[in-house]
Amino acid sequence: MPETRPFDPFRSARLVYRAVNDTPADEMFVHSIQRDAEAQSGSSYGLLRPESVNASNDIKRHIAEKCLLGAIVCLPPDGDSDDIAGEPIGIVCLKPVAPQHAHHRSSDISIDIARKYRGQGYGSEAIRWALWYGFQIAGLHRISIGTFSFNEGAVKLYARLGFTEEGRQRDFMWFNGGWHDHVMFSMLEDEWRHVEKKAGMDV
């Protein structure tokens, strides 16, 4: 176990994580994420509809007020800036847990990265940070994540990050004229520690 000392937990190798603020800028950013219908089709089983600003604001409030962890994923600030974070590029959450279920110490990750920043490893880094935060800071025992069978990139990514595929809810989602499975993954605390130690991290 590493030596414990005060530190800023809201940073990873290339990214900074900050709160969702009640500002026009964050309203516009969350809306830009939520209105990306292509991205939402691969992560949300709700009926796809054009996203309104009001609907996005409901999501923004949920992230800020209800989630166990809700953070805007950002690039670092410029070297001469006093800001704690730079340009926002995504959203990462550990979903809320009902009080009567809190003793199970379990949560789910959701992740969205803005289109122009995909394919650069930022999603993987933010997921790894959320796992670290969940196990090391929030004291969770189990963290899950899910996707749909047609989202092959996500299926491969989650397996590569060390998640275990637990099962599939068959024909769970109707999309584009066909039925698709919901693929469920999870990671336990001891599995996460094994993955991190194998990568040379001190946890």
- How far CA 109 is from CA of 22, 132, 134, 163, in Å, comes to 23, 12, 9, 12
Q: What is the SS3 assignment for 168?
A: strand
Token pair for 64: 């800020």
Q: Rounded to an integer, what distance in angstroms lies between the CA atom of residue 30 and that of residue 9?
A: 23
Share of the chain above pLDDT 70, in %: 99
pLDDT of 62 > 90? The answer is yes
What pLDDT score does 202 carry? 84
- How far CA 14 is from CA of 20, 49, 152, 175, in Å, comes to 19, 34, 26, 35
What is the arithmetic mean of pLDDT over 110-136?
97
- How far CA 175 is from CA of 24, 145, 184, in Å, comes to 33, 20, 18
What is the arithmetic mean of pLDDT over 135-163?
97
- Which DSSP string corresponds to 60-116? HHHHHHTSSEEEEEEPPPPTT---S--SEEEEEEE----GGGGGG-EEEEEEEE-GG
Q: What is the SS3 assignment for 176?
A: coil
Q: What is the pTM of this model?
A: 0.95
Q: Which amino acid is at 78?
A: D
Token pair for 172: 């769970």
From the centroid of its chain, how far is CA 96? Answer: 13
Q: Rounded to an integer, what distance in angstroms lies between the CA atom of residue 10 and that of residue 104?
A: 25
What pLDDT score does 3 carry? 76
DSSP lists the bridge partners of residue 108 as 144
What is the arithmetic mean of pLDDT over 138-165?
97
What is the arithmetic mean of pLDDT over 44-59?
93
pLDDT of 1 > 70? The answer is no
